[in-house]
Every structure is written in C-alpha cells, then in structure tokens.
Amino acid sequence: MNKRNFQWRAQLNWLWLALGVAVLAGCSSSDSRYDIKDDVAPSTPISVDHIEGAQPKYEPYSLGGNKNYTLRGKSYTVVKDAEGFKESGQASWYGKKFHGHLTSNGEVYDMYSMSAAHKTLPLPSYVKVKNLDNGKETIVRVNDRGPFHDGRIIDLSYAAASKLDVIKTGTANVEIEVIIVEKPSSQHKLDQHPEYTIQVAASPHKDRIDELSKQLAEKLSVETFLTPVNSNYRLMLGPFKDYKQTQDVLEQVQKIGYPSAFVKKL
C-alpha cells in the first residue's frame, strides 16, 4: 500500500470512529450534525395537555444501544435485569436540537413523545418518573442514552418535561422506578420460533467450521448449528428466547477470541 492510500484509509477510519462516538453521545452531543448549536424548546410549541404518559407494554430489547460502552473516558455497564430498579437524582430535558435525529437504539427522537434517555437502562424500558419538587409524576419510555452530566440521571423529552413542569426550571429532583411488563402468555403460545441467535464466524471450509461448532457447544454449553450461504458456512449459536442470556453468551464468545460475533434477531 502506498503512502497516499495509507493516509486515505487512516482518515476514513478516523471518520467512522468519530461518527460512532457522536451517535452514542446522543442527547449530550454538541457536534455539527445537528441543525442548531444549542438546545431549545420549540419556537411555537403545541399543547401537550392531551398527551398521556407512555403505556407500558412488553417489548423485546433493541439490538442497538444495549452494549456496554465508554464515553469521554468513562465506562458504562448496561443493566441486564432492571426489575426493581430505582434511582434518585436530577432530571433534565432535551428538545428541538435533537428532534428528528436518531436515538441510541435507532429510533427517531420526537420531542412530543413521552420518552427519555438514561445512561444504563436497557432500551427500551418503561419508567415512572416523580418530580420530588412538586409531586407530579408520569411514565416515559426510555429509548436513548444520556444525560452525561454529573448528578443527572434522566433526560426527559420536551413533552415529558412539560408534564412534570421541568421546562421552566431546566432541571428537577426526581425519583425514577422501572416498570416491568412480562411477556403475555398468549404471545408465548404464538411464538413458535426463538427470537435471537449469535453469529460467530463464517468459512468456506465446512470441516473446520464444524469442528469449531463442536468446541463452542461443549465450552459454552449452548446449541450450535451451521447455515450455508452461497459458498460459506455460518456458525450460529442458539436459538435463544431470553435477551439477557443472549448477551451473556455473546460476551463469553467475544472474550474467548471472537470479537466480531454479533446478535441476530429472528
């Protein structure tokens, strides 16, 4: 590779790295990908009186935004089992600057939805938020990461912040509590296929990938299978119905030498 190509590849790699960090930073970022520099309320806000709190329902966790991460030199570990999770601290809010941009789990942020951002709760999660300063409370759906400021535990959407009277004050003392919704029994009966698999590797050499499949099955105590695609064979683990188990197995696979392994949702 000549010097010019090496420099071009280095610049391209740096661009992708910077883009990844910007997306992860979510509502805390101030880079130029947003239309305005500083976050503000909508210039002609619509009434949010008719907007009800988020309605908790069972949802499988998103494939995006649920991995442990490091931002600004600090590491964050995503909660795998949020049952009984409670936290007290300050709430802030985000609005027009981020409206229409992607959240950390790949959805589009709508400042008029009852949503929020949290640093470590699994995405999505439903959370009851109580404003300790005035006693008001509501329910939000967490689908983003943030806020990355000391003392702040949750970033509310404009609508949610309006419901709790946080817009004027900017921040408020709150208590949050995760609401767990179990998978409906009727849905258990309808789901004939598991939801997650893990792709470990792919190779055109069936004998080698088959041997690796046997080794991982024994080492990790999981089911394995091969999926032929064109001239390659993909080594898959699973299937798994439980997202937490899937993430646990994925971490084990990555630690023993397969960092590019990833989860596939069926």
Residue 81 belongs to domain with CATH number: 2.40.40.10
At residue 222, the pLDDT reads 93
Q: Is residue 47 part of a domain?
A: yes
Closest to 132 in 3D by CA, of 176, 178, 163, 162: 176
Question: Would you say residue 186 lies in a domain?
Answer: no
Under 8 Å between Cβ of 53 and 179: no
Give the DSSP letter of residue 28.
Answer: G
Of the chain, the end-to-end C-alpha distance in Å amounts to 40
Determine the pLDDT at residue 259.
84
Predicted pLDDT at 44: 62
111, 144, 116: which is closest to 44 by C-alpha? 111
| Tokens linked to 93 | 């809010």
Q: In this structure, are 172 and 197 located in the same domain?
A: no
- How many helices (H) and strands (E) the chain has is answered by 5, 12
Q: pLDDT tens track of the chain, all 266 residues?
A: 544 444 444 444 444 333 343 444 444 444 544 454 555 566 666 677 778 899 999 999 998 899 999 999 999 999 999 999 999 999 999 988 887 889 999 888 988 899 999 999 999 999 999 999 999 999 999 999 999 999 999 999 999 999 999 998 999 999 999 999 988 765 555 456 558 899 999 899 999 999 999 999 999 999 999 999 888 899 999 998 888 888 899 999 999 998 888 888 77
Residue 11 lies in a domain: no
Together in a domain, 103 and 216: no
Residue 35 confidence (pLDDT): 52
Cβ distance 127 to 178 under 8 Å? yes
8 A C-beta contact, residue 121 and residue 82: yes
Expressed in percent and rounded to 5, the helix, strand and coil fractions of the chain are 25, 30, 45
Q: Which amino acid is at 201?
A: A
- Among 122, 155, 179, residue at a domain's last position: 179
Domain identity same for 250 and 169: no
**150 domain-assigned:** yes
Q: What pLDDT was estimated at residue 12? A: 40
pLDDT of residue 25: 44
Phi, psi (degrees; rounded to nearest 5) at 163: -60, -35
pLDDT of the residue at 39: 59
Residues 215 and 84 in one domain: no
Last residue of a domain, one of 179, 208, 229: 179
| Residue 204 and residue 154 share a domain | no
In a domain, 87, yes or no: yes
Residue 6 pLDDT:
41
Q: Which domain holds residue 233?
A: 193-265
Last residue of a domain, one of 126, 147, 179: 179
Among residues 59, 144, 61, 69, which one has the least CA distance to residue 101?
A: 144
